[in-house]
Amino acid sequence: MATRRPVASLWIGTRLHYLNQLCLLSHVRQGHPTTLYCTDTVENLPEGVEVRPASEIMQLDREIIAQTSASFLSNVFRYKMIQKTDAIWIDCDAFCYRPFPDGMENIYAGHGFRGALNCGVVYIPPRGELIARLLDYYDNLPEAPPWFNKQQRKKLDRQDPSLAHPVRIYMAERTAFGPQAFTYFAQQTGDYDKALTPDYLYPVPFQLNDVFYDPYGRVEGHFTDNTLSVHLYTNGTRPWWRKHVPLPGSYAYRMCQEIGVDPAAALEE
């Protein structure tokens, strides 16, 4: 198989869930050199995935992570990674359905029913205005994100002043470092109109994510000839599915069978 564009992600912790193993291996299967930047030694990393220390890209503040979420600082990490390595960012719950085309310079799309852009799978020019605006926002956080409305600003003002400023913003609006920031700055730079349609990267809306575990769910009915990636939305998955083997016939079960992942060996503890 021809070597394709590199892809990469970040993992904070010591153990992958079976869906994470599945999604990483799906990129390996499609010929993408796949790198996982790690903060710790991961005990169940699948063969074929290259491991690199996260510190090669940036230092991650463990205290801020503890006060927010494991994925919070990944919103900064992904753009620094693109800028340094020219790789495509993939969330660890993005399943590679088809390989990413070599010449595609803007890889991002809206998801769900609201029309906002998501950055779960993203590539933007590493020397472009959009990435410069995003990194400037993260490196020089304003008192409040410029898109915050009156209610959001009031909520921010009510946060504990002893908390670090990024944590206060997170507590006021959980996606202010992620999709909200990406959507706002893409609108400011004119890159919003370059977004792919949702069927490229998020063919199944977030609100319907249970369909991946339904043995009678026709997941592929959401796919089109454009579909490159299928987001499995592990952050929104019901706890039962994270702790149990998927039902035979479901999309999650069939993909594990196809790629060779044993769900029983990597359930959420």
Task: Look at residue 157 and give its three-state secondary structure.
Answer: helix
Domain boundaries, given as residue ranges, for the chain: 7-138+194-265
Counting as low any pLDDT under 70, the low residues of the chain are 1-2, 112-114
> What 8-state DSSP symbol labels residue 178?
T
**The pLDDT of residue 3:** 75
8 A C-beta contact, residue 65 and residue 37: no
Domain 7-138+194-265 in this protein, CATH class: alpha beta
pLDDT tens-place string over residues 160-217: 999 999 999 999 999 899 999 999 999 999 999 999 999 999 999 988 999 999 999 9
Total residue length of the chain: 269
Q: Please report where in the chains the tokens 């494991």 appear, as a residue.
A: 70
Any residues with CB less than 8 A from the CB of 98 and at least 6 apart, and which? 30, 227, 228
8 A C-beta contact, residue 86 and residue 23: no
**For the chain, where are the E strands, in sequence order?**
7-11, 34-38, 50-53, 88-90, 94-96, 107-110, 117-123, 229-231
8 A C-beta contact, residue 33 and residue 99: no
pLDDT mean across residues, the chain:
95
Q: Which residues share a beta bridge with 26?
A: none
**The pLDDT of residue 255:** 98
